[in-house]
Every structure is written in structure tokens, then in C-alpha cells.
Structure 1
């Protein structure tokens, strides 16, 4: 296993500004191959998809290759990969589509741990359908959301469980395979928000058991848009609102309007870049992704250990990220200092660790932090030990 952090960092032009980035949970920096892929797509003939002229063929090839790349990343079927403007937009689209089958007496489960993009679309769709919303709470002391917490709000009337695969606020990774099994036992579908999860863990859609899994390439070195993965045969049963002349084929029936071809080219490049994180790996793209995420998790674990040890040595800090299984993302608050002031102090020293609730408003409130949240520190593939040292020194000076 070879993870060459110096060579990796050299491929990110944004790092030339010498900022230590801990803002990865909100969006990562972009490597040169992704930038080049986007530019290359726009530099060549590009038209609506087809097979008659070069621009049509280029567009069709870009979409096909992007679906295959995301299918390799998520261990999914390319025919079940749906592209959208964002994960939020996809959640709204699918909530409206699924709600067509709901009626008064049906129940929808959401959790306090989730980003609001995996709460509000379902709550609003349930209200319109006359369905009941059941809330699953997590333990604010440990940050854990357990299968038992989900089991407690399931019934034979449950139609859907919307649950995060990893909290973008505190990093908690619930046991999605067990939650999916419980939901399926009562006949419910599972919509898993993997926006934060996919950046830190190798995804296997079948192993997770979720019926829908959504993620955003800009959280794992790619461009800004959303991706949903599902079984093609499930997608065939859903009838979204769409334009009359638009195709009814799956997955295109869910992609409303012309796709951002240049961004899809960048997404394919981002997956290929991830597949090369372990520079000694060989084999298929999926096999290289397996090796890459093993190397990435080891690298991030080393940095998280360094970070945890350094934070323990500082007085007056509360770490709200305590779950046994979590991403390398920490939410901090301070006994006598405002987290916005900490963010500004660090920013002046070239360290970017933002403050807020980051749209995980229910989680922030459940932690007793109101709408304010805290200082979020998130690791990304390009972070190194020097970045962590700069952060810890900055926090020590601030305190």
C-alpha cells in the first residue's frame, strides 16, 4: 500500500495558496486532472446527446463514461445512476415522486442526525400527502444513532426511512445495513444520504441495503452536482413528472433537462483520481478503488489520531464527535470563546475551519447548540501532518 501525500498535494493548484483546508465536508479542493477533464470537454465539439455528429457523440460518451465511473465507485449498476443538479434537488424530486403513492395513515421516518436536505423534502412531501412523520433521535452524549433508535419508530405503516450514512456535522456513521434490514422487514424503502459518507468510505450499494443512495462529487474532489444510485428495476416502477417529449427510459426519465456534460466529465476524472490514491494498486477501476479507500482510511486515521491527541492537550474544548464509527470530521465548541471568533482567528493564519450548523439544523439543536453549531474540522485526502500542526497551534493561540 502506497499513499504518497506529497505527490498527491502537488496535483491541487488551490494548495499553492498555502491554506490548510479543513473545510472538506463542505466541499473539497479540485485536482488538476479533474480541472483538465472539464476544460477538455468544453474545448471539443459538444451538443445534445446523439450519434450523428461529433458533438452528439462526445456528449453521449461523457454521460456513459460518467455512469460507469460512478457505478464503479458505488458498486452499483450504471443503469441505476441518476444525475441531478445537487443532492438536495434529487431528494426533492424523489420525495415528490414517491409521495404520489402515500396516503393518510402512512408513516415516514426521518432522523435528527441528518442534514436538512434529507429531512425537509420528506417532511414537506408527507404533509402534502397527509402522511405522518416519525422522528428518530440520536444520543447527544455519544452522537450514536442506533438501529434500535430506528426500530422504535417503525411500524407496518412505514413507507420510507430517510437516514444519513454519515453525519456531515459530527461524523457519526449509523449501521445502514442493519437499518435497511429493519426497514425492509416492515415493507419500507430506505433513502440514504451518502453525501458526507462517500468521501471517506468505500460504498457497496448492495451491502448497505439502501434502496436509494445519494452523493455529491464535489465532496470527493469532483465538480458540483448530485448523483443518485438505485436498482434499475426499482426506478422502473417510479413515475416522475417530466416533459412529454423527454425520454421515458431509465435512468434518463429522472434527469430533467440537459445534463452538465462538462461536470460529468469531471466526475469521471474524479473517480479515476480516487482510484489512483494507492499508487501501487493494479486491476480494474473498482479493484483500485478498494485499495485506494483502504489507503485513504489509513491516512485519515493517522491524522485523526494526531488531531485527537492534540485536542486532548488543550483545555476548554468540547468535542461533540464521539461515535464509535465515524468519519474524520470533528465538531468543536469552546468553554469561553465563540466559534465564529475561532474561525476568523484561524482564517487570518491561513487555516480554514468554518463555524456553523452546516444545514444539519436538527442535529445542532439536539446537541444543545441551537442554530449556531460549532467549529467543524474535517479531513480530506490532501491534508497532511503539517496541516494538523498548524490547526492545533492556531487553536492553542486562540484559546
Structure 2
């Protein structure tokens, strides 16, 4: 591998402030190529799509390029299965509304305690309106893991949809997704997978996950604030008819996208995928080929740093890591210092140049299952631009606080 973290860091203007940016799970920083792509889109000029002139054709080209880029990033079979929206939450509510249209009393929906509330509440609310039953798969509070059987045992002949995360946004837990999606498919249920925290830390191949729908957010992988839901099979969108304006396009995936697309943000998303594809300088070939090499290099880099972080936290007296999973996980740690509020810990770390998140991070079911409540904990999350110095600085600061 030819992954050089210092070379990567040099492309991120925000990192020049000398702080340790350990809040990637809340949103990553943006490299210069993405900044340039967004600025250039505005600088050159764009018009809305549908016009018989260059600036309009340029906007249409950006949309097509963005669909292709996201499809490459997640290993989707066809860019026609990529639906864009302002956030994963907004898109999930959009899909919940259209998928729930056929639910009836007696039907069932499965959600999990491991998920961000954006992949829980929309399904619960629409199930309640339809009279459908909601079944909740429980996580193991001791380990923070979600055994696949906790989900599959809830899936039955009346199950219409299974909503499950590919990686916890606070604990980092990566469940056995394929076992869950396979079981859903056996009974004819759809699977809606939250990949927001998974996509930044994995080489994603949608077919291997077995997901019918996979959600991702560009601002979690060095892009602008833009989200996408990707259909494992674009044909699955053809049978869904969301509410829309009478004159707006009735073609798929366009009919799922409300209003005018954010063309400059889409240009930034394309640049972000290209950036990710080039993180390993030895990567060559098609963008999908370069992504495969670079994403695996990133995973190896993050896993090495995560070991340092997790082992260091385990050695600190006075620091409690919540739900430390023994199985696969992203480089994310959720912890607390007994006697100190999470906000106070984050503030003290911020004074030492360390950016970490605090609170429940919208993992509403998880923080209650862990017994820590809405006050939550402190979250340190590593990214491809994190270096060992960042991790060591955090461990040293926590050691001082714990003392």
C-alpha cells in the first residue's frame, strides 16, 4: 500500500489549525479538491436543467456524474438507482412514506436499538399510522454488539421492512448485515440499511451486503452536505411512487428528488469520490478499481490507529468505554469519565486542541439501552486523515483528566 497520511492531511486546509479533529462521525473536513469543485461550479455558472444552453447542460451533466460517482463508491450496479436528498434523515422519511403506503394492520416492521434515530423513528411513526406492529431488536449492553439472531428472530412472514445500521454511529459496532438481509429476503421483506457511518470506513460492495436500500451521507466521507439512498436494484424504484408535484419528472430516480438539486454540492460529491479513489498513490485503473485499492488502504490505516485508541482507553483508570464490541467495528470510541458530565469532558479536551463530540449523537435507543440516558457520552471518531499524534494527544489528555 502507498497510503501516506501526511500527504493526505496536506490536502485539508482545516487541519492547518493544529487541532486534532477527532469528530469525523459528526462530519469530516473537506479537502481542497472538493472546495475547488464547489467553487468552480459557481464560478463557471449553472442554470437549472432542461434548458437548451450550455449552463443548463452543465448542470445536467453534474447530476449524472454525481450518480455515477456514488454508485462507484458503494459498488452499486447502476447509477439509475441513486437518489439524492439534503440529508439521510430527510431521505429516510421520504422512503418511509412511500414504502409504508402498502402496510396494513398485522404487518410488521423491525428496527434496532443500535441505530441512529433517523433509521428508527421514521419507520415507527409510519408503522403506527398504518396500524403495523413495530418489533425492536435489542443490542447487548455489555458489549455494544447486535447479534444477528436478535434481529432475525423477529423477522417473520408478516415482516414488510427491516431497518438496520451497517455500523453504529456511537459504538462503531458492525453487525452481521448479510445474515439479516438474507433472512429479510427469505420472507419477502425489504431491508433499509443506514450506511452513514459504514461507508466512510469500508470498501462497500452493495451486492455483498444484500441491502435493498443503502443510505449514505457525503459529509461523512469528505464531501459536502448531501445524502443519497442507493437501491441495490434500480428496478425496485420503478414500483414506488412517492408524492410529487404534478409537472415534476415522473421518471426514476428523479421523481424521488424534491425540487431543484444542489448542483454545486453534487460537483463537490464527485470530487470527494475522486479524492477517496486517489488516497493510495499506487491505485490505478477505473475509478471503481482505484476506490477498491484506496478504500482498503484507508481501512488498514484506521484499524491500526483504532487499536492504539482502544488499547489506550482500556489502560486508563477512570475512563469507561461504553459497549466495547469484540467483533468488527469502525474506529469510533464512546466513553465517559465518572463524575464528569460529557459536555465538561468535551470542553476540557477542546481547551487542549482536541475536537470530540458529546451527548447522545441521536443514538437514542442505544444510549438508553446502555443505561447512560440522553446525556450520553463522549465520542472520539477517527478518519482517514487522522494520524497517530492525534490519538496520542487524546490519550494523554484523558489520562490527565482522569487523574
Q: For residue 349 of structure 2, what is the aligned residue in structure 1?
A: 346
**Ranges in structure 2 where 5+ consecutive residues have no aligned partner:** none
- The corresponding residue for 1:244 is 246
Equivalent residue number for residue 8 of structure 1: 8
Aligned counterparts of 2:185 and 2:256: Cα–Cα separation in 1 = 24
Partner of 1:324: 327
Q: Indicate the larger mover: 335-344 or 18-27.
A: 335-344
SS at match of 2:149: helix
Q: Find the counterpart in structure 2 of residue 375 from structure 1.
A: 378
Question: Where do residues 187-202 of structure 1 align in structure 2 (5 Å cutoff)?
Answer: 187-202=188-203
Matched residue, 2:116? 115
What SS does structure 1 have at the residue aligned with 2:236? helix
Query: For residues 261-296 of structure 1, what are the alpha-carbon distances to aligned partners after superposition, in whole Å with 9 as ceiling and x for unaligned?
Result: 000000000000000111111111111111111110
Distance 2:59 2:179 in 1: 40
1:284 lines up with 2:257 in the alignment: no
How far, CA to CA, are the matches of 1:50 and 1:367 in structure 2?
51
1:131 corresponds to 2:123 = no
Please give the alpha-carbon distance, in whole angstroms, between the structure 1 residues aligned to 2:369 and 2:180. 21
User: Is 1:68 matched with 2:79?
Assistant: no
Query: How much has 1:68 moved relative to structure 2?
Result: 0.6
The alignment partner of 2:333 has SS state of: strand
Equivalent residues, number: 399
* CA distance, structure 1, for counterparts of residue 5 and residue 157 of structure 2: 50
Matched position secondary structure for 1:266: helix
Contact 1:164 1:192 (C-alpha < 8 Å) held by counterparts: yes
Contact conserved, 1:316 with 1:336, CA < 8 A, in 2? no
CA distance in 1, matches of 2:325, 2:72: 31
Secondary structure at the residue paired with 2:102?
Answer: coil
* 1:203 corresponding residue in structure 2: 204
The answer to whether the 8 Å contact 2:174/2:330 transfers is: yes
For 1:181 and 1:312, the matched residues in 2 are separated by: 36
| Ranges of 4+ aligned residues in structure 1 off by more than 3 Å | none
1: distance between equivalents of 2:150 and 2:311?
A: 31
Shift of 1:301: 1.1
Secondary structure of residue in 2 paired with 1:154? coil
Distance 2:5 2:151 in 1: 39
1:219-230 correspondence runs (5 A): 219-230=220-231
RMSD: 0.9
In the alignment, the residues of structure 2 paired with residue 335 and residue 252 of structure 1 have an alpha-carbon distance, to the nearest angstrom, of 50
Q: CA deviation at 1:51?
A: 5.6
| CA shift for structure 1 position 146 | 1.8
1:304-350 Cα offsets, whole Å, 9 max, x none, are: 12112322221021212324111000101123332221111110011
Deviations 1:235-262 (A, max 9, x none): 0000100000011111101011000000
1:162 and 1:191 in contact (8 A); partners too: yes
Correspondence for 2:181 = 180
Q: For 1:341 and 1:51, how far apart are their aligned partners in 2?
A: 54
Aligned partners of 2:219 and 2:201: how far apart in 1? Answer: 13
Check the 8 A contact 1:50/1:59 in 2, yes or no: no
- Other structure's SS at 2:156 match: coil
Q: Find the counterpart in structure 1 of residue 361 from structure 2.
A: 358
Equivalent residue in structure 2 for 1:274, among 261, 273, 276: 276
